[in-house]
Amino acid sequence: MTHISWKAVRAGLLAALVLLACAAPARAGGGHSGEDSWLMLTVTPGETPSTGENGTMLRCDPPRGHRHATDACAELTAADGRIADIPPREGVVCPMIYAPVTAHADGMWRGRPIDYTETFPNTCTMTARTGSIFTIA
């Protein structure tokens, strides 16, 4: 019969706790988790934003839920979550066809609420102005 002292059991448990604490991943982005960087995105034909729940959920850290999530999250990171501050794409020439679309984003960026709505003359202009954010179709 093997005897294990309480001192040995405590030392083993302490070592296990230290290993678990060291193995836990560090949070990136200044202590903000990806769960507080998410946007519900909708693009609606016309000049009225969508009031429904149908849209695309973009999550960052890691990028997911959107067909261009990596690019969209990078653009949001560069603009600190401010969609209006995303620089327009250079060299894009859009047709002068009026087919309005309304882009809407609602969510959180690094703990800060985001509520963005803008109507563009057409989808080309929307994409040229907002990058990959609203390329959800």
The answer as to whether 120 is a domain residue is yes
> Who's near 32: CB < 8 A, 6+ residues apart?
61, 110, 111
The answer as to whether 47 is a domain residue is yes
Task: For residue 68, give the CATH number of its domain.
Answer: 3.30.350.10
The answer as to whether 18 is a domain residue is no
Domain of 96, in residue numbers: 29-130
pLDDT band at 39 (very low <50, low <70, confident <90, very high): very high
The answer as to whether 62 is a domain residue is yes
Structural domain total, the chain? 1
The answer as to whether 86 is a domain residue is yes
The answer as to whether 15 is a domain residue is no
pLDDT tens, 95-135?
Answer: 999 999 999 999 999 999 999 999 999 999 999 999 999 99
Rounded to 5°, angle at Cα 92 from 104 and 76: 40
pTM: 0.71
State the distance between the two ends of the chain, measured CA to CA, in whole angstroms.
68
The answer as to whether 34 is a domain residue is yes
Q: What is residue 48's predicted lDDT score, i.e. its pLDDT?
A: 84
The answer as to whether 101 is a domain residue is yes
Q: What is residue 54's predicted lDDT score, i.e. its pLDDT?
A: 76
